[in-house]
Structure 1
Amino acid sequence: MRSAARPSIGTVRAAVLESFGSPLAVREVPDPVPGAGEVVVDVAAAGVLPYTGEVLGGERNYLLTLPAIPGAGAVGRVRSVGPDATRLAPGDWVLCDPAIRSRDDALTPDITLQGLSARGEGGLALERHYGRGSFAERLLVPTENVHPLGPIGPADAARWCAVHVCLVPYGGLHAVGLQPGESVLVSGATGNFGSAGVATALAMGAGVVVAPGRNAAMLAELEKRFGSRVRTVELTGDGDTERMRAAAGPVDVVLDLLPPSAPASAVRAAVLAVREYGRVALMGGVGMLGGDDLALPYPWLMRNSVTVRGQWMHQRGAVGRVIALARAGLLDLTGFAVTGFALDDVNTAVRDAADRGGRFQLTVVHPRDAAGAGS
């Protein structure tokens, strides 16, 4: 019978945020040791979100207990497992899901996004134990958040970080029951999560994806990348709803992924394009930092039997399904360009992620391998 690996004792290197607005400091921290229901992973690659700098600077007002090790999600190899793990083994390539849920309330669990943000007081309680993120050589993760990738090459680890980006739109599309052949309108299609949402909707079998935006060059790139199944609409602020609706005929599903900087009027214009009996998934950040809230007409919602669903992140079983889409080639991870940085260059990585904007661009930190930088 396989026994759990003996946990190592000592220190590992990590990037630490001591105060909001200060640079990340790379220093030694205690080596994590797994208990029951936990796994320690040697981090090969950790994705850097385009808005990481806004979180570290405090502009996003995320609940993050300091000092903190940022980094949401990782790809790496199992280092050691708790005594109740029966299938994971040291050396396995895995993807670590940062959406950590409490185990003592299956109906409405508290959630923390490891290395990024907590939701409410319960999320902060989780964060106190699992708050150390993936900008570190090793990461402590609940066993249920560790997902086998099967055999991959070390050079492929960074590109698998794209799964973390695609998981967000997958969560919304799954929540509203996207069916093969349906039409999807992705509000915010030229952004980081929105462009991944276009790819994810197509991978899930959407017949047509409407991609609105103000960035004409990015809209043209989406058309070139995905072909006739993507119908782009350049937004002007005048008649946008009608042109979005006309781009694909009836719109079955609207997925909103617009960031906090976007106006609520842009979300409204997209939502009103959905057909009678259509479904809407709200996953963006509009209204989170002030500004107008989303106002939808009650008579229109009621008389058209429209379903509006809020969805934060993804469901528990989503990770394995998105990995399966990538393994099958339906979700093409090779479409994401990767730029890698060593852990010592983590502050440069944060700036790079913001500059690139994240649209099919992955900025990745390699905590254990300086040679991975520049990949």
Structure 2
Amino acid sequence: MRAATLTAFGSPLEIQDVPDPETGTGEVLVEVLAACVLPYAAEIFSGARRYPLEPPVVPGVGGIGRIVRIGPDATRLRVGDLVWCDATVRSRDDALTPDITLQGWSSRGAGGARLARYLHDGPFAELMRVPTENVYPLPARAAADPARWSSMTVYSVPYGGLLAGGLEAGETVLVSGATGNFGSSAVAVALAMGAGQVVVPGRNRAVLDLLADGFGSRVRPVRLGGDEETDRAAMGAAAEGPIDLVLDLLPPEAPASATRAAAMTVREYGRVVLMGGVGTLGGADLALPYPWIMRNSVTIRGQWMFPRTANVGMIRLVASGALDLSRDRLTRFGLDQANDAVAHAAKHNGPFDRTVLTPGA
């Protein structure tokens, strides 16, 4: 098969012929039709983000494909099924605290790294080996445009955070980092899940206007100035009533003070979910005040990716039309253009910009 391989950090992807993956029991072989190229892929491949990825590796995260081969333990999947491939692979020998790897992308701890050495390669290839439990059948109509459905790679991350925060219909959500690629997607998902209001803070006036115009009066934009106390007051004032849930999706380069200002807008008994990259490349600690957390009974939760059940929920949101993928602006690249795709994704990283690799095109 043909694949785009990262041979070393800082080197371009090499488009080359490699052996087809061999599958065993508990695995399926998928023909990759479309894989979303995340905006920060170039930072990973250069080594700037210091991800625990071990070259040589076929990178990428998740994707849409057709099943080519199934194992003997699959009872409902069939060859030819159109499926969504979840990159979040969990070890099978610890149900309570499984080790996790993002296939072709990242891992957590020594156990995750060990798992990644086995399930090493991602979707920047014509074929991909995937654990049976990580493929999810899609509606037949998704076959008309698999590239558009590959946007679930982005939407599913904030969906996992909103599920972790226990979002209920009618509640008010504040999305910290709302003007970014993941944050703007969080706005769309929160509204699809029934949020009453979504407070969207940011410094980019054009993006704030885009979100407000695109989603209507349930979106409450807030222009940030950089002063923590002033910004906190402005975010709190934007909501008509208490803020029930804060979801942070700020990138690594954002200061911890921005996350703290947003988090401390949450109401008494409110919830804060941390999913962003603040502090991963160094910098000041978050430093939320102990008395404030304790006296206001605030729940603070970290969330990496999403539970397996979220895949089913995400597909339902899209299939029902509650989450509208038509607003996504797609730019498609063939496998031989993988390096162009990575460069394009880095430059086109705004709200609802999607760069898609189509190995099966």
TM tier, shorter chain?
over 0.9
Q: 1:113 aligns with which of 102, 122, 126?
A: 102
* Aligned mates of 2:27, 2:351 — CA distance in 1: 33
Residue equivalent to 1:245? 236
**Alignment partner of 2:104: what SS?**
coil
Q: 2:321 aligns with which of 324, 329, 339?
A: 329
- Which amino acid in structure 2 is aligned with residue 350 of structure 1? V
Deviations 1:93-143 (A, max 9, x none): 100000100000010000001111111111111111111010000010001
Does the CA-based 8 Å contact 1:252-1:275 persist in structure 2?
yes
Does the CA-based 8 Å contact 1:92-1:150 persist in structure 2?
no
Residue equivalent to 1:16? 5
Q: 1:292 aligns with which of 284, 290, 302?
A: 284
* Aligned mates of 1:83, 1:134 — CA distance in 2: 23
Q: 1:351 aligns with which of 333, 340, 343?
A: 343
Q: 1:158 aligns with which of 117, 135, 147?
A: 147
Q: Indicate yes or no: 2:290 matched with 1:301.
A: no
Structure 1 spans left out of the alignment, 5+ residues? 1-11, 370-375
RMSD: 0.8
Alignment of 1:91-240 (within 5 A): 91-238=80-227, 239-240=230-231
**Alignment partner of 1:314: what SS?**
coil
Does the CA-based 8 Å contact 1:39-1:80 persist in structure 2?
yes
- Which amino acid in structure 2 is aligned with residue 349 of structure 1? A
Q: 1:318 aligns with which of 290, 310, 313?
A: 310
Q: 1:281 aligns with which of 258, 270, 273?
A: 273
- Which amino acid in structure 1 is aligned with residue 183 of structure 2? G
* Aligned mates of 1:236, 1:143 — CA distance in 2: 48
Q: CA deviation at 1:155?
A: 4.0
Q: CA deviation at 1:293?
A: 1.2
Q: CA deviation at 1:154?
A: 3.9
* Aligned mates of 1:320, 1:335 — CA distance in 2: 22
* Aligned mates of 1:74, 1:358 — CA distance in 2: 20
Moved more, 254-263 or 241-250: 241-250
Identity percentage over the alignment?
61
Q: Indicate yes or no: 2:27 matched with 1:35.
A: no
Q: CA deviation at 1:33?
A: 2.4
Q: CA deviation at 1:198?
A: 0.3
* Aligned mates of 2:150, 2:223 — CA distance in 1: 30
Deviations 1:296-323 (A, max 9, x none): 0111111111100010110121001010
* Aligned mates of 1:109, 1:192 — CA distance in 2: 29
Deviations 1:162-201 (A, max 9, x none): 1111111111111111110000000000001100000011
Deviations 1:206-253 (A, max 9, x none): 000000001110000001110001000010023111111111121000
Q: CA deviation at 1:152?
A: 2.5
Does the CA-based 8 Å contact 1:49-1:358 persist in structure 2?
no
* Aligned mates of 1:40, 1:125 — CA distance in 2: 21
State the TM-score, normalized to the length of structure 2.
0.98
Number of residues of Structure 1 aligned to a counterpart in Structure 2: 358
- Which amino acid in structure 2 is aligned with residue 19 of structure 1? A
* Aligned mates of 2:145, 2:217 — CA distance in 1: 29
Deviations 1:67-86 (A, max 9, x none): 01111011011111011111
Structure 2 spans left out of the alignment, 5+ residues? none
* Aligned mates of 1:338, 1:287 — CA distance in 2: 31
State the TM-score, normalized to the length of structure 1.
0.94
* Aligned mates of 1:79, 1:339 — CA distance in 2: 26
* Aligned mates of 1:222, 1:51 — CA distance in 2: 22
**Alignment partner of 2:8: what SS?**
coil
Q: Indicate yes or no: 2:36 matched with 1:47.
A: yes
Residue equivalent to 1:7? none
Does the CA-based 8 Å contact 1:96-1:145 persist in structure 2?
yes
**Alignment partner of 2:73: what SS?**
coil
Does the CA-based 8 Å contact 2:341-2:356 persist in structure 1?
yes
* Aligned mates of 2:329, 2:25 — CA distance in 1: 38
- Which amino acid in structure 2 is aligned with residue 78 of structure 1? I
Does the CA-based 8 Å contact 2:82-2:143 persist in structure 1?
no
* Aligned mates of 2:191, 2:232 — CA distance in 1: 22
Residue equivalent to 1:364? 356
**1:279 to 1:113, Cα distance in 2 relative to 1, 3 A:** same
* Aligned mates of 1:365, 1:155 — CA distance in 2: 16
**Alignment partner of 1:236: what SS?**
coil
**Alignment partner of 1:346: what SS?**
helix
Q: CA deviation at 1:358?
A: 4.3
Does the CA-based 8 Å contact 2:252-2:276 persist in structure 1?
yes
